A and B are shown apart, each in its own frame.
Chain A
């Protein structure tokens, strides 16, 4: 072999070694090690910390795939559906409830009643045990405090169809995320006809569709819109960053419509490779100290158990007027509401 050939072989080996070193050996754990695979759409910042605590306490490796609930890609739900015949995940932890219900209806989930969920109100649990809700967010309005004094701020989502708010409201794409859930809930509670009328009026009033709830909050904070629809966690983040915004829990007056509460949900995947470890992880996630941790995190999730206390800034469940919605009825409306809103907003 000539010196040139030797150099060439060396360079090629070096390139390949470098490439394989860079890619890393990211595969399943070694034989015999205990592990659990979880798919989660809760912000990685919060969920990762909880999974590391689980690992420290149990010695079971928690391998996670993270996604955003905004689901601008088809994300975890389509992944779980595609893997249905041969599941690769054990646990699905969603930051909301609608997608979990869709997965339940398509046979992706298995029932599991965790003993850790005993104190969680029944209305936040599936009657057959397919999913359990905990640590909720609420749909709220966010207002720019520089643009709107306290008395000027809207108190109800229904005010936003009035001419006063023409072109002044930001709303995340209603086909995805919690905005889609909110729309389906309105279809379920108001009835499809009244809900359609409401969205047509919003559309006619020039509501601006933006990329996601975080964007809606950002654009309100930047003063582009005086008011927007979003979730409590986005507003808590803005408040923590001293942005000029205020959080409005809408329709809280006596006899009011109430605000939609969107709990995190956790569920066991049917036929997952590590069912026992999956159950242990669900038990861990549903513990009171985890819900407390989520309440004290920047997103300020609202505890569903009276026994769990959050910081003073996070409202107690009993102090909120919550929209009375049957989650099953809401799931029934997911497709009709999405079809209607697609044609209204994607014309």
Chain B
């Protein structure tokens, strides 16, 4: 699998370790489930897979799911890229605040995020009450229980991924290059022909992640009562306990996911990418009408993407006492989940660096697919696969401790660290590494002294994503968490089904507070590095 061009720069053992991690954590559980489903008859599984061609209802559901995923991707990219551009031109402190705030909704569990929106636009919800207080009672509110509603909620849910990806991509654009282009071309031309093409790998990569996440998402369409293909799969798994049907039906989704990777590769192409020699942040916008318009646009966006869902969640909580009480009851779950999420994010970030290096240097489609396709892996399939794989006498103990959560998080989240790392490393010239080799630097030194300083944003983004998404994981955790080893996400999920909205809201606020810490740290590091790169102010 590893390509010779990549192996030359990293020791074989490192490359193979990166491959082994994804094989063991993501693909072996899938193989275990496939094998058990095939025991009942290969033909039955294939018949279910091929039913999307013969059964009009299933074909319709798959088409709807693909359209919803495409709609959510286009909406998230359509809004996220301009937002990242606006953030890029903000002053350093504002950039830090905006960047951190925009990512915040990502850490709210998907189910609760959708619930928050549903509550917000409910005829008795905060928006209706707000409108009523200002004499606009009876204001028509959007109906989210439609395919368009699912697209909107998914796009808002995954918008931070695009903002993060595009922001990372824009750091590769040397403002000097932009300034030079602006001397001969108008700004729209510079944006379309210089800035966006340079950030294209990160933008496309984030779009790809959004597409695949939206494609397999069960929670949002299920809550909003919109039938989709993942809902059909889940009905087979849970309603009918038909593993063969569920596995067979998962295969078309995997095929659509593979097609999306190929399509993304065609969009990005193989062109070598220009790299900013000196990563000077662009100048903040000068005071004037453009600045006012930019601030207004960002304010509106923050209101829609961050304040609105958080208001929906805060509306569930009656006061600070509820938060204190919820914490008192769920403290073990909180810290258990945070601890394993930290460990998983750190391991995944290291893995992402090696995997990203392999993909960026080899440009091999097989390697890219290897690290991306776990995106299309259903959490339920992963959970069942982990049980089938690890529940053996000679592996006694693996499923007995909460360490199994590490397998759950790594198995699902490999793409979230590999993709941003690949995009960032693709911008680091190969010649730089070769020069390091010639000067006698070992691979660890090259990683630490050459690659990390240039690609740290991709690694940091990957860490944040892995950490935040670990806190949201339910589907596989609920199947493998050991007795008395409940995770926070599972607790929130169970509470939401018991109708304990107050506790759900309070726990979500606690999660937000916890995730704000690493966000703050990454943001401050970015701010410090950006400030260090800015030219010093002239002395008075």
Contact = CB atoms under 8 A, between A and B. Distances in A.
For chain A, give the interface size range.
Answer: 35 or more
A90 B237 CA distance: 23
Given A102-B241, A342-B239, A20 B339 contact: yes
B144 to A, nearest CB: 13
B402 interface: yes
A30 interface: no
B339 A19 contact: yes
Contacts of B61: 346
Given A74-B238, A215-B499, A339-B240, A26 B401 contact: yes
A210 B223 CA distance: 8
A215 B338 CA distance: 29
Interface residues of B, number: 59
A86 B485 CA distance: 20
Interface stretch (B19-27, B46-54, B199-207, B384-392): B384-392
Interface in B320-354: 332, 335-336, 338-340, 342-343, 346
B503 to A, nearest CB: 10
Nearest to A39: B483
B472 interface: no
Contacts of A63: 482-484
Nearest to A37: B483
Interface string B94-122: 00000000000000000000000000001
B179 interface: no
B474 interface: yes
Contacts of B380: 73-74, 78
Considering residues A26, A43, A64, A176, which has the most beta carbons from chain B within 10 angstroms of its beta carbon? A26
A251 interface: no
B343 A26 contact: no
A218 interface: yes
B197 interface: no
Nearest to A75: B478
Contact of B478 (A73, A81, A102): A73
Nearest to B232: A346
Nearest to B479: A79
A19 B342 contact: yes
Interface of B is mostly: helix
Interface string A24-50: 111110000000011000011100000
Interface in B376-406: 380, 383-384, 387-388, 391-393, 397, 399-403
Interface in A61-90: 63-68, 70-75, 77-79, 81-83, 85-86, 88
A217 interface: yes
B474 A73 contact: yes
B402 A26 contact: yes
Nearest to A27: B401
B260 interface: no
Contacts of B401: 25-28
Nearest to B332: A24
A347 interface: yes
A197 B343 CA distance: 54
Contacts of A346: 61, 227, 231-232, 235
Considering residues A22, A37, A79, which has the most beta carbons from chain B within 10 angstroms of its beta carbon? A22
Contacts of A224: 122-124
Contacts of B343: 19-20, 23
B474 to A, nearest CB: 6
Contacts of A304: none
A64 B483 contact: yes
Contact of B336 (A23, A28, A70, A79): A23
Given A83-B387, A347-B227, A72 B497 contact: yes
B386 to A, nearest CB: 9
B493 A73 contact: yes
Nearest to A21: B339
Interface of B: 57, 61, 122-124, 219, 222-223, 225, 227, 231-232, 234-235, 237-241, 243, 332, 335-336, 338-340, 342-343, 346, 380, 383-384, 387-388, 391-393, 397, 399-403, 474-475, 478-486, 493-494, 497-499
12 contacts: A20-B339, A28-B400, A43-B498, A65-B481, A65-B482, A65-B483, A66-B494, A68-B497, A71-B238, A88-B399, A106-B241, A338-B235
Counting from the closest, the 4 A-B pairs by CB-CB distance are: A22-B339, A63-B483, A214-B499, A23-B339
Given A24-B339, A63-B483, A88-B391, 9 more contacts: A23-B339, A26-B402, A45-B498, A72-B219, A83-B387, A83-B391, A173-B222, A176-B239, A342-B235
